[in-house]
DNA sequence: AGCACA
């Protein structure tokens, strides 16, 4: 178990209010969706495109152990729902949900207002219009540049460090998706607030972890071992979060398995890849990577002394030293 | 610098 201060790996709360849930906004009571919703054009009233207004709601009152998925599964039924996420960085989880229009956001806010989210924990939702729109990452496509690192809170120091691999080759394969954000359709569903339940948007992917590091820091990597399909990761910081670590590496190309080793002072881990090439890729591209829970140190990536699943002393094979077995003639390589 | 598991 990680320490108390563990935080899930949520990269982008480039979203909304930095503000706490505390000051309940005065909100117009009984605001309901317009009777005649044609979101596209508001001929008279607001000249501004609806996308400039805040169409995100803020959701407080969630139980501490709320999952992104739970919230999504609730919100996806609401008309105009586009994306949501939960910010766990503060004491009480704060949810944010983006809707296609401000009206629909208001409608959603009122729908959810005072809703009992969990009877057992007596969680009752309090919703407001957020101060700012939820920021949804654009590129669903595997495009490394989609992970721009602007707006990241963490900045260990100098990242653009020459000599350290650029984050260009990350996870081509990895679903470039972090937890939240629902579907991203180009066109909003034909909507009809509360009119009927058309097929709800299905958030395609289970929340997965973000493979992109927050930054890179130089590490000195003297004394490496010869390339093999297993990497040894050290210098992970005092309170590295195992889940985060696992999520980080498990989405790398060629990942097979990993083992995390908690030791007194240092936590280290071993990662097996499909082949040496994949290991080498990661060895180079993620050297010095910083992930949130690693604090302000860059991880050191080395080849493992012993590849996963192979014994140290190669005279004894994995194939059991059977009483009557043939002598271990086969060897690796 | 901290290298386990089979």
A8 compared with A48, residue with greater pLDDT: A48
State the pLDDT at residue A145: 33
Q: Report the candidate in A299, A262, A265, A266 with the shortest Cα–Cα distance to residue A283.
A: A299
Residue ranges of alpha helices (H) inside chain A are 68-75, 102-112, 242-250, 276-285
CATH topology agreement for domains A50-129 and A141-176+217-310: yes
| Position A106 confidence tier, pLDDT thresholds 50, 70, 90 | very high
Could you give the CA distance from residue A85 to residue A72 in angstroms, rounded to a whole number?
8
CA of A192 to C1' of B2 (A): 59
On average, the pLDDT of chain A sits at 70
Q: How many CB atoms lie within 10 A of CB A200?
A: 16
Q: Model-level pTM?
A: 0.38
Q: CA dihedral in degrees (A83, A89, A93, A99; nearest 10)?
A: -20
Q: Find residues whose C-beta atom lies within 7 angstroms of strand B.
A: A 220, 222, 225, 230, 232, 234-235, 259, 261, 263, 265-266, 268, 270, 272, 297, 300, 302-312, 318
User: Which nucleotide lies closest to A225 by the C1' atom and the CA atom?
Assistant: B3
Which bases of chain B are contacted by protein, using any atom under 7 A from a CB?
1-6
CA of A135 to C1' of B5 (A): 42
Highest mean pLDDT among A114-118, A146-150, A315-319: A114-118
| pLDDT of A164 over the 60 cut | no
- The CATH code belonging to domain A141-176+217-310 is 3.30.70.330
Closest residue (CA to C1') to nucleotide B6 in the complex:
A309
pLDDT in tens, A165-182: 333 333 333 333 332 333
Selecting from 3.90.1150.10, 3.90.930.12, 3.30.70.330, 2.40.50.100, what CATH number does the domain A50-129 have? 3.30.70.330
CA of A322 to C1' of B1 (A): 38
State the pLDDT at residue A203: 44
DSSP A265-299: S-EEEEEEESSHHHHHHHHHHTTTEE-GGGTT-PP
User: Which nucleotide lies closest to A318 by the C1' atom and the CA atom?
Assistant: B6
CA of A306 to C1' of B6 (A): 11
Domain boundaries, chain A: 50-129, 141-176+217-310
State the pLDDT at residue A50: 52
**CB distance A213 to A289 below 8 Å:** yes
pLDDT in tens, A179-221: 233 333 333 344 444 444 344 444 444 444 446 888 999 888 8
State the pLDDT at residue A309: 83
User: Which nucleotide lies closest to A271 by the C1' atom and the CA atom?
Assistant: B4
Q: Report the candidate in A285, A301, A272 with the shortest Cα–Cα distance to residue A213.
A: A285
Could you tell me what percent of chain A has a pLDDT over 90?
A: 46
User: Which nucleotide lies closest to A303 by the C1' atom and the CA atom?
Assistant: B3
**CB distance A171 to A251 below 8 Å:** yes
Place of tokens 């101060």: A131
List of residues 6+ apart from A310 with CB closer than 8 A: A318, A332
CA of A174 to C1' of B5 (A): 26
CA of A74 to C1' of B4 (A): 43
Could you give the CA distance from residue A152 to residue A102 in angstroms, rounded to a whole number?
27
CA of A269 to C1' of B1 (A): 14
Reading the block at residue A214, the tokens are: 């927050």
Closest residue (CA to C1') to nucleotide B2 in the complex:
A266
CA of A37 to C1' of B5 (A): 61
Lowest-confidence pick of A80-89, A178-187, A284-293, A303-312? A178-187
Task: Give Cα separations from A167 to A143, A149, A213, A214, A284 (angstroms).
Answer: 11, 10, 8, 10, 10
Q: Counting runs of H as helices and runs of E as strands, what totals does chain A give?
A: 4, 12
| Position A272 confidence tier, pLDDT thresholds 50, 70, 90 | very high
pLDDT in tens, A252-265: 999 999 999 998 88
């Amino acid at each position: 178990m990680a320490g108390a201060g563990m935080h899930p790996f949520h990269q982008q709360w480039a979203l909304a209010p930095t503000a706490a849930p505390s000051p309940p906004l005065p909100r117009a009571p009984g605001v309901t969706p317009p009777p005649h919703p044609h979101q596209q054009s508001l001929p008279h009233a607001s000249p501004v495109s609806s996308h400039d207004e805040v169409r995100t709601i803020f959701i407080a009152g969630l139980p501490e152990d709320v999952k992104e998925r739970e919230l999504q599964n609730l919100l996806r039924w609401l008309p105009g729902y586009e994306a949501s996420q939960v910010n766990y960085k503060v004491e009480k989880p704060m949810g944010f949900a983006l809707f296609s229009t401000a009206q629909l956001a208001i409608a959603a806010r009122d729908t959810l207002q005072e809703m009992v989210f969990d009877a057992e924990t007596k969680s009752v939702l309090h919703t407001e219009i957020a101060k700012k729109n939820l920021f949804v990452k654009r590129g669903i496509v595997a495009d490394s540049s989609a992970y721009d690192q602007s707006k990241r809170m963490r900045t260990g120091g100098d990242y653009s460090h020459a000599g350290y691999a650029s984050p260009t080759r990350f996870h081509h394969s990895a679903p470039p998706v972090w937890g939240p954000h629902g579907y991203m359709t180009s066109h909003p569903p034909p909507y009809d607030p509360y009119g009927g339940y058309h097929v709800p948007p299905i958030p395609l992917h289970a929340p997965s972890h973000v493979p992109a590091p927050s930054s890179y820091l130089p590490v000195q990597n003297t004394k490496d071992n010869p390339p093999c399909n297993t990497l040894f990761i050290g210098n992970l910081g005092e309170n590295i979060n195992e889940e985060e670590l696992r999520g980080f590496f498990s989405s790398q190309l060629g990942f097979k398995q990993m083992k995390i080793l908690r030791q007194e002072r240092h936590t280290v881990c071993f990662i097996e890849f499909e082949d040496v090439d994949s290991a080498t890729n990661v060895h180079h591209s993620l050297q010095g990577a910083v992930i949130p829970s690693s604090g302000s140190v860059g991880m050191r990536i080395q080849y493992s002394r012993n590849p996963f699943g192979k014994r140290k002393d190669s005279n004894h094979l994995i194939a059991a030293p059977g009483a009557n077995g043939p002598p271990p003639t086969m060897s690796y390589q």
